Structure 1
């Protein structure tokens, strides 16, 4: 059996991160400390997880022709991610994410999309060829921090190869209706689920309703990530609530990416949706316990251990 492949399409950023002792907006100028430069972006984080969990991991995206491209790609190359699917946007800067982390750990991000949004026909065609050359078992994880037309072409190419597609719907206003039937799974947070369904998510029942609505629109598996770190899953058997673990949050940067990446990895490995959801919750919970995104990400053993406890406490919200 060939080695499973995780394909990751979307944002690739150079992250500039600091800690602040006051919440952003509390005063005109904030003093900061613990400055670090990291490789970031949703697709970057997913690809890194794919490699560290032992799979062939192929990153698809765009960087600029500037010095920040190496910051965005260097650690991925070292982790064993295949970056041959990353193309260069001539005359454009690499995407930059500026992150402030206050004492409560709830990060504030300003993103300059830059090269992430600069796709030409040649780059799009090269991306499609990479997907079409990929053999099963494989899974494509996409996000909408690149143009919607690029995401749609990728999803259609993957569907033509019977490769399941998992969508992290950031930004939700870039998710076209025709994309949803191409998806195997979708993992919105509550604000994204609200934007996609038009209904505010205030409790578990609202999250279950949103997941069901997304399935009614063609998605096989819908998993709504909750603000407390848990999730509500609907894979066709009713709504399952997977509660959060007990962790002390230090920095929420990249936690949602950890959820989607590890959720997709679990599906790629043939695990059942409820187990994949518990893996995602475990990964996201563990990711907030240290500073940074990739430096804080857990390994397989840590995820498996916490996920087993979470599944024990999971509860159905309605009749199966």
Structure 2
């Protein structure tokens, strides 16, 4: 297999995760257990998957000059992710994600972006230089949990280099809609898609229409990640619903990142969009069967086997 390059730009966090026995916020003080200190953040998670699937994986982002930086970076380094281009924000804390996982497995997250939002011009220039000098074939995965100007500069650099870009539009209010035509793909969840189109999406018909609307606005591919673990894919040729598999969820943390990361890897490897989306759904579904994000992420063989069965169950949506 040819070793390709996945570039991941966005949030890098130290995750503090606990289980709670009642829904989050059900009382002022809740007892928790099973504390885990992990590496997290959207860019970290997609970079982890790039390395896990056998490709060169470069992480671009910012951590603080504190002890939490190693919590965020050490597991990635061990997994084979290249973290040499992650900058340190002087006087800042590394991003922190505080995660509570209730019995229904649907996590609740409080995120302090911290160093993720601290980019000076030197840091932006260094990031652009990495993209400019990147070996191709490559794919750039982006999220808006860093400043919009940073994402915009990265996307401009990728466009100059003819590197396709996949955007996870978190946070949707930061998205520069004028840059959407420069994207190869976008992977919002339902609430993010609602933020982008400006109205609620309470039915499959509305989700399909929203996917087609976003696709017409620029990206060649749109995948709306559904709450049940499936997705709606829109291309210029078709709109497709890929259903989830029947899994028992343990923890939904990082499932959306698993979708985006593996979807990007599949596109990078040259898979057709329906198969790439099925890989994403399979990765997200398998990710919820373990506790934590990166520790629960599946390998290639698991994804390929499940994706094959999911694609057989996919249905074309009229519109």
The TM tier, using the shorter chain, reads over 0.9
Could you tell me which residue of structure 2 aligns to residue 152 of structure 1? 152
Q: Distance in 1 between matches of 2:97 and 2:186?
A: 24
Q: Distance in 1 between matches of 2:202 and 2:128?
A: 39
Q: What RMSD over aligned residues (CA atoms) do the two structures have, in Å?
A: 0.9
CA contact (8 A) 2:3 2:54 kept: no
Deviation readout 1:91-139 (Å, 9 max, x if unpaired)? 1000000000000000000000000000000000000000000121100
Matched length: 319
Could you tell me which residue of structure 2 aligns to residue 12 of structure 1? 12
Q: Is 2:274 the partner of 1:274?
A: yes
Matches within 5 A, 1:169-184: 169-184=169-184
Q: Distance in 2 between matches of 1:22 and 1:13?
A: 26
Q: Is 2:23 the partner of 1:23?
A: yes
TM-score, scaled to structure 2: 0.99
TM-score, scaled to structure 1: 0.98
Aligned-residue offset at 1:181: 1.2
Where does the alignment leave 5 or more consecutive residues of structure 1 unmatched? none
Could you tell me which residue of structure 2 aligns to residue 221 of structure 1? 221
Deviation readout 1:12-58 (Å, 9 max, x if unpaired)? 00000000001111111100000010000000000000001000000
Q: Is 2:61 the partner of 1:61?
A: yes
CA contact (8 A) 1:189 1:224 kept: yes
Aligned-residue offset at 1:2: 6.5
Aligned-residue offset at 1:291: 0.5
CA contact (8 A) 2:190 2:227 kept: yes
CA contact (8 A) 1:2 1:137 kept: no
Could you tell me which residue of structure 2 aligns to residue 255 of structure 1? 255
Q: Distance in 2 between matches of 1:282 and 1:177?
A: 29
Matches within 5 A, 1:170-249: 170-249=170-249
Deviation readout 1:179-206 (Å, 9 max, x if unpaired)? 2111000000000000000121112111
Deviation readout 1:256-303 (Å, 9 max, x if unpaired)? 000000000000000000000000000000000010000100000000
Aligned-residue offset at 1:3: 2.7
Displacement over 4 Å in runs of 4+: none
Q: Distance in 2 between matches of 1:270 and 1:207?
A: 26
Could you tell me which residue of structure 1 aligns to residue 291 of structure 2? 291
